[in-house]
Structure 1
Amino acid sequence: MGLVLILAEKPSVSKNIADALKIKNRQDGYFEGNGYIVTWAFGHLLQLYDAKDYDDNMSTWKMENFPFIPPMFKYKVKSDPKNREKPDRGAGKQLKIIQSLMKRRDVDTIISACDYDREGQIIGDSIIYNLGTDKDVYRLLLNEWTPAEVMKGLENMKLNSELRPLQDAGVSRQWADWTIGINLTSVATLKYQKGKGKALNIGRVLLPTLKVIYDRDKEIENFVPENYFKLQATFKTKDEHEYEGTYVEGKEEKFKRKETLEAIQQALIDQSAIIHNKQVQKKKEYPPYLFNLSNLQGYITNKYKGWTSDKVLKVAQSLYEKKFITYPRTSSVALEESLVSKTAKVLETLTEDLPYKNEIKFVKSKRIFDNSKVESHSAIVPTYLKPKKLTIDEEQVYTAIKNRLIMQFMPVAEYEETRIETKMKNIDLKGLFVSKGKVQLVEGWKKVEKVQSKDTILPLVQINDHVDLIHHEMTSHVTKPPKQHTERTLLRVMETCGKNYDSNEESEETINAILSGFSIGTPATRAETIKKLKDVGYITAENKNLFCTQLGRKLVETFPIKDLFDLEFTGRLEKSLFDIEKRRFSKEEFLQVIFEFTAKSVQKIKNEQDITINEIVTQHKTNEVLGKCPVCGHAVIEGQKGFGCSNWKSGCKFVIWKSDKYLAAMKKKPTKTMVKSLLKNGVVTVKGLTSKKGNKFDANMRYEKNDDNEYYSWRMEFNK
């Protein structure tokens, strides 16, 4: 038997595999031992050619060169992020290492161990097949990187050729986004932008997401507030207990006409009432479902300040690579039925020292374990490995995932709901007064996150009891506009393509929409889309709320390819990709649709009127004067590396370096504000300096010329 070569998606994952196989020997770019070689990519090592790589004429954008659809798509070493013209040296080096390992005579089997999803499939396949091999290629399909799972996975591998549909879907997505992005971004920029600068970004997932925010902004702008009125009354029972009731006719408690309620108020003077009806119901409250990625992002961005969906994904990814949670890029809110005994063990490990341990009972429930609700990956749950040390960010995400699992096995929360109908005795009113009370009977799963339920307790009354009306008042209210989108609500729309996204609880319809692939983007890319919308300047965030910028609005209102803003259109494309994975649609048919759509769109833009959506005005940098130079009196301005005298050409040496070592030792960098204050007053109060022992302190600082040379040094003074 020859050696087995395993290719992982990232160095950290290859280390997990090497640990599971007990390989200690690390070489340059791989681990080797016990019959295995484990190497790694850094995500995508290859990328698609740029347009100019196919044809030199494409190196400058000209209208007549578009639409541009290459006869076949080719790959190259990914570009250096700092210089797009050059290949990334690290990626090039790692590809050479992988190639030499694949060619080794003693290697007879290759295993792709990249993430089990569309992207993971093409990361592995693009490397293995572009380098070329005639050796057997297998696929390791895992949901977590714990040693037990790695060993189990190696016993249950599939031939990589069986995953051809997943590869087809991945490639179709990649080629489609390249075709639409390259063509429409170029043509839109040439047509609608004046001045040099960033291109006008056009993307298949970007634009419908922008439109969702635009539509909500418009709804809020066009909202016309309406007044409505309510009538509240206070009643007293015979044993002196008071309770409130709201006047209701049919099901309506909000009245548009003030006069309706004023007439009723007149009739209420000196009247008494009777208990017309009383209902007491026990109700159950189930815990929210397990997390999929969108729900986790929604939960964390809503609960904690300063989080974005993109950050939640990064932190979850790091917990996954550290083996503490299962695969995060999932759209499922249930677990596969095969995970029953494993989940029982995980639950036992996680709840060993909880004060309410005796209330936790493991059950095999359809709400938690249901194959029909799992699409390729189960919901996100912790693994059996308990983390010893986590960063604050990791702690917040891990705790949310852990608590969500524990909640499923706590008692169902129960409350009692009371509804009392109070009817006026001697006057004939269309409606009556309704009072609602709620008392929590069983706290159950709410204990896990200390969810507080408010009790509203009503007095004990029976039907036909007489009560006194002791007070009534009419209150006026104004209808409220819809709320701005937040990342949480936006993710919800993207996940379900706008179908039924108001409910907090996952409804069957929502789950089916997700399972049938009808969504915008995938769990893995949605956060990236929201981040990109901010980066390209189409939307902006204030606190948790998202708004369209002026540029974003202009684009929605002017860009003529309306299909690209349509949730249904993008949903259908996403559904086609999902159907390719399921062998219900072919890659060739899908790409044909994309190529035709692109060509027609380019033509349409060319024929449109010339309008400017974005004008880039190049601004010349103005150097703000921070103060007078203490040596020669010229202006002190900010440079790239420091704050210095503008008279430096004539030899003035005054400068405060941004990398000043004295300040750096106390974990501080000089700022503009600091320099201004120093130049004006000769002294500056610097807050939050860190001592050698790690304690924080404040001090007054002076910056004075040394006696023995022409340089300056800091001197510290403490307040007496």
Structure 2
Amino acid sequence: MKLILAEKPSVAKNIADALKVKDKKDGYFEGNGYVITWAFGHLLQLFDAKDYDGSMAKWKMENFPFIPSSFQYKVKSDPKNREKPDGGANKQLKTIQYLVRRNDLTEIISACDYDREGQLIGDSIIYKFKPTKPIFRILLNEWTPEAVLTGLEKRKSNNELRPLLDAGMSRQWADWVIGINLTSVATLKYQKGKGKALNIGRVLLPTLKIIYDRDKEIENFVPEDYFKLSATFETVEGKHYDGTYVEDGEEKFKKREDLESLLQVIQHKDASVIDKQVERKKDFPPFLFNLSNLQGYITNKYKGWTADKVLKVAQSLYEKKFITYPRTSSVAIEESLVGKTANVLKTVSEGLPYENEIKFIKSKRVFNNAKVESHSAITPTYLKPKRLTNDEEIVYTAIKNRFIMQFMPVAEFEETKIQTQIKDVEIKGTFHTKGKVQLVEGWKKVESIRSKDTLLPFVQENEIVKVVGQEVSTHVTKPPKPHTEMTLLRVMETCGKSYKEEDQDQEELLGSILAGFSIGTPATRADTIKKLKDVGYITAQKKNLVTTELGRKLVETFPIKELFDLEFTGRLEKTLSDIERNKVRKQEFLDVVFQFTNQSVETIKGKPDVILNELESKSNKFEVLGKCPSCGHSVVEGKKGFGCSNWKNGCKFVIWKNDKYLASMKKKATKTMVRALLNQKVAHVKGLTSKNGKKFDAYLRYEKNSKNDYYSWQMEFTK
């Protein structure tokens, strides 16, 4: 009997289906010579500090730094009561223990995800029970029946994966040591009041710094005017084209008068086409998706999506066997998967309107072992989904389309460049014109991407044309744009080397990603962005991410500057990657982290006390502002508005802090305003702003509509 441990119940079911095992017991499947059980992700967690030493139950500055001599594991805590072990995890561990110790067992196979986190999950559970049977590992990129059977045939000894386990433990232990020590001392040093901690993390802070730096760039940006000179030329056939004046390679000029002096000079003059270049260019499709690029694509294209949501939906598609492993940094496919990929392409192409244009080709752009780290790029599997949720449909279609694009004709366009020189006058520069015409639509058909053509009239070199219009236009330099999840993920993935979508073809960038020189991993970046929002360091304004006051204060005050440094964090992540490759020993990495933590704690202790964050006492949190006009219960302040405390029973009364009516007059709802509305039925509001920018005062009422349960604003100018 062979025991297989999967990371999740859904994956265990996929394995059972592949092996045709249908007998489900309490916590496992059994049949055909296999027992298949599962974890729920991490069933075990590291000890809390107080588990090692009871005196650590209360945070005291003198207790830190604290680094245990050896790291120990316990059953993961109940999310609702961290003092108790999780009941479901405890029960499943006992089931696994019983199965590991069965007398009829011949071997144990770990089928957890093929990454350092999956290795850590499987090994921490299996070795906890001191098994006597040989332990093997299957390494899969997808959970289709074919892949499961092949993986079992090619299973490896689990000892071969020791470097992957070492990397997983190194990451977990390092984050525990940095997080426990620096979060504790930072909270004691810089925060007043009891409640949530001031979160400090190895990946959290450099990500915050990326957003902070962009905010500062925007804040410090000083707009500057610049000017352009353009002219309209007429051919002998009466056709027109425009050109922009370029002098010494520059088309933007700081002084308007420099260009205005040329306006009269060129008016009604003849000009000559002194150079014409026509070039046919190829436009290749974007690379296959890795997780960061998929998250960037979806969050940029669809409103309301976050990187965390994209990962959750992709994980669901993976567990349902419709796509390959999503937590990958690769943008190419292993060369050994050529035949398999051809079959997948044939399946997903069936019935498409451009099916006859899809041709399977083995190209280095798609199949390249040098661009694959552990897992190939995300692609569909040969199993076509029959029913998907709306969210799954969005993510699956994006992955399928990006895959199909690789095997469509390369898009081609013709680019024309014309240089026009004014005749019979001494002018240093020339007028430049560009035209572009799409010749072959190719892969752009897949998502109906329309290329904007710039059509030019036919002119020949040395042809004489006439100036029939000229203009000096004013422009203003623009500040950099705030980060979005797409651009932030790109900076994290490349450790700040680039964040532009068009840069993704650069070999150097791909090399740095594959070498592990990044901030976090594909699996953790979305969670990092979510956590930054949850702890209040950043906030989302539509698609833009910006720092909060607390986030800015933390960057400017927290003295451990290495934790904000992309290079420092990138080197740590690179070392973890090198541990996976068996190039660096686990202890070398941990020694560096422990020394860094000890020094950091002492540095913080030696700095002056500064309050970065003051938490409100709980008694103020539920201050009663008045009675609800709908049901008579108390109205209290919440995070986003002032609402009825009886909301759980269906009362809908609320005045939102970002109320659109008030926002249109550049005001927000305040406690004083709400208290007046509830107690006096009217509030006198000063400093409202009209549409033309004028300030005025008015009386506002918030009254229930006669036809429905909703409330609306009424304005009066006399009480």
TM-score where L is the length of structure 1: 0.89
- Displacement of 1:197: 1.5
**Deviates further, 563-572 or 252-261:** 252-261
* Whole-angstrom distance in 1 between the partners of 2:134 and 2:79: 34
Picking from 301, 307, 328, the partner of 1:330 is 328
Conserved? CA contact 2:47–2:73, under 8 Å: yes
Contact kept? 1:278, 1:463, Cα under 8 Å: yes
* Alignment partner of 1:585 is 2:584: yes
| CA distance, structure 2, for counterparts of residue 435 and residue 657 of structure 1 | 67
Alpha carbons 2:625, 2:636 under 8 Å: kept:
no
C-alpha separation in 1, matches of 2:234 and 2:446: 39
Partner of 1:481: helix, strand, or coil?
A: coil
Contact 2:267 2:470 in 1 (8 A): no
Q: Does structure 1 retain, via aligned residues, the 8 Å contact 2:208–2:532?
A: yes
Indicate the larger mover: 621-630 or 487-496: 621-630
* 2:458 paired residue number: 460
The unaligned stretches of length 5 or more in structure 1 are 641-654, 661-668, 688-720
For 2:566, the equivalent position in structure 1 comes to 567
Q: 1:111 aligns with which of 88, 105, 109?
A: 109
The match for 2:412 among 399, 411, 414 is 414
Query: CA-to-partner distance for each residue in 1:409-461, whole Å, 9 max, x for gaps?
Result: 00000000011111101101111111110000000000000001011100001
- Counterpart of 2:106 in structure 1: which amino acid? D
Q: Which residue of 1 aligns with 2:623?
A: 622
- CA deviation after TM superposition for structure 1 residue 657, in Å: 7.1
List per-residue Cα deviations over 1:311-334 (Å, max 9, x = no partner): 000000000000000000000000
| Residue 629 (structure 1) shift | 8.0
SS class of match (1:482): coil
Give the SS at the match of 2:241.
Answer: strand
Counterpart residue type for residue 212 of structure 1: I
**CA contact under 8 A between 1:108 and 1:136: conserved in structure 2?**
yes
Aligned to 2:600: 601
User: Which of 229, 239, 244 is the matching residue for 2:242?
Assistant: 244
Give 3-state SS (helix, strand or coil) of 2:353's partner. Answer: coil
Query: Which residue does 1:56 correspond to in 2?
Result: 54
Once the 2 structures are TM-superposed, how far is the Cα of residue 239 of structure 1 from its aligned partner?
Answer: 0.5
Give the Å deviation of 1:684: 5.7
> What is the root-mean-square deviation of aligned Cα atoms in Å?
1.8
**Alpha carbons of structure 1 residues 682 and 443: separation in structure 2 relative to 1, 3 Å:** closer
Once residues 18 and 656 of structure 1 are traced to their aligned partners in structure 2, the CA distance between those partners, rounded to angstroms, is 49
AA of the residue aligned to 1:569: F
Q: Provide the residue aligned with 1:636 in structure 2.
A: 633
Deviations 1:58-83 (A, max 9, x none): 00000110000001000000000011
Does 605-614 or 300-309 show the bigger shift?
605-614
2:257 matched to which residue of 1?
259
**Alpha-carbon distance between aligned partners in 2 of 1:260 and 1:639, rounded to the nearest angstrom:** 63
Q: CA shift at 1:500, angstroms?
A: 3.1
Alpha-carbon contact 1:276-1:463 (below 8 Å) kept: yes
The C-alpha deviation readout for 1:49-107, integer Å capped at 9, x for no partner, is 00000000000000110000001000000000011111100000000000001011011
Identity rate, percent: 68
Query: Is the partner of 2:360 in helix, strand or coil?
Result: coil
Distance 1:254 1:658 in 2: 59
1:627: how far off? 4.1
Per-residue deviation, 1:204 = 0.2
Three-state SS of the structure 1 residue aligned to 2:438 is: strand
Show the counterpart of 1:319.
317
Determine the structure 1 residue equivalent to 2:364: 366
Q: Distance in 1 between matches of 2:467 and 2:355?
A: 49
- Counterpart in the other structure of 1:273: 271
Are the structure 2 counterparts of residues 686 and 20 from structure 1 closer, same or farther at C-alpha, using a change threshold of 3 Å?
Answer: farther
SS in structure 1 at match of 2:624: coil
Structure-1 separation of matches of 2:654 and 2:601:
50
* Contact 2:267-2:468 at 8 Å conserved across structures: no
State whether residues 316 and 394 of structure 1, in contact with CA within 8 Å, keep that contact through their aligned partners in structure 2.
Answer: yes
TM superposition shift of 1:613: 1.1
- Which residue is equivalent to 1:339? 337
Residues in 2 aligned to 1:38 and 1:166: alpha-carbon distance in whole angstroms: 23
Residue of structure 2 equivalent to 1:85: 83
Q: Name the aligned partner's letter for residue 220 of structure 1.
A: I
* Contact 2:289–2:399 (CA under 8 A) maintained in structure 1: yes
Q: Which amino acid aligns with 1:625?
A: G
Question: What is the DSSP-based 3-state SS (H/G/I as helix, E as strand, rest coil) of the residue aligned with 1:13?
Answer: helix
Task: Please give the secondary structure, in 2, of the residue aligned with 1:584.
Answer: coil
Q: Does 1:308 align with 2:306?
A: yes
Matches within 5 A, 1:182-581: 182-504=180-502, 505-581=504-580
- Taking the aligned partners of 1:566 and 1:293, their CA distance within structure 2 comes to 24
Q: Is the 8 A contact 1:361 1:410 kept in 2?
A: yes
In the TM superposition, 1:146-185 aligns within 5 A as: 146-185=144-183
The within-5 A match list for 1:603-682 is 603-618=602-617, 619-627=620-628, 635-637=632-634, 669-673=650-654
| Match of residue 47 from structure 1 | 45
Say whether 1:685 aligns with 2:708: yes
Partner of 2:16: 18
Other structure's SS at 1:116 match:
coil
**Displacement, 1:636?**
3.1
3-state SS in 1 of match to 2:232: strand
Q: Return the offset for 1:131.
A: 2.0
Distance 1:440 1:362 in 2: 24
Give the Cα–Cα distance (whole angstroms) in 2 for the partners of residues 238 and 680 of structure 1: 71
- Contact conserved, 1:484 with 1:545, CA < 8 A, in 2? yes
For residue 617 of structure 1, report the CA deviation from its aligned partner: 2.3
Letter in 1 for 2:555: V
Equivalent residue, structure 1, for 2:640: none
Distance in 2, matches of 1:70 and 1:130, equals: 19
The 2-side partners of 1:427 and 1:367 are apart by 51
Query: Given residue 15 of structure 1, which amino acid in structure 2 is its aligned partner?
Result: K
Cα distance, 1:506 vs. partner? 2.6
- What is the deviation of 1:266? 2.5
| Alpha-carbon offset, residue 616 of structure 1 | 1.3
Distance in 2, Cα, partners of 1:682 & 1:582: 67
Cα contact 2:66–2:181 (8 A) shared by 1: yes
Shift of residue 503, structure 1, vs aligned partner: 4.9
- What is the aligned partner in structure 1 of residue 94 from structure 2? 96
The two structures have a TM-score, normalised by structure 2, of: 0.89
Residue deviations 1:289-337, cap 9 Å, x none? 0000000000000000000000000000000000000000000000000
**In structure 2, do the counterparts of structure 1 residues 422 and 138 end up closer, same or farther at CA, with 3 Å as the change threshold?**
same
Q: Could you tell me whether the CA contact under 8 Å between 2:229 and 2:245 is conserved in 1?
A: yes
Pairwise CA distance, 1:180: 0.2
Structure 2 distance, partners of 1:550, 1:682, is 38
- For residues 498 and 28 of structure 2, the distance between their equivalents in structure 1, rounded to whole angstroms, comes to 48
* Other structure's SS at 2:434 match: strand
C-alpha spacing 1:103/1:638, structure 2 compared with 1 (3 Å)? farther
Note if contact 1:501-1:510 (Cα within 8 Å) is conserved in structure 2. no
Cα gap change, 1:67 to 1:684, in 2 (>3 Å): farther
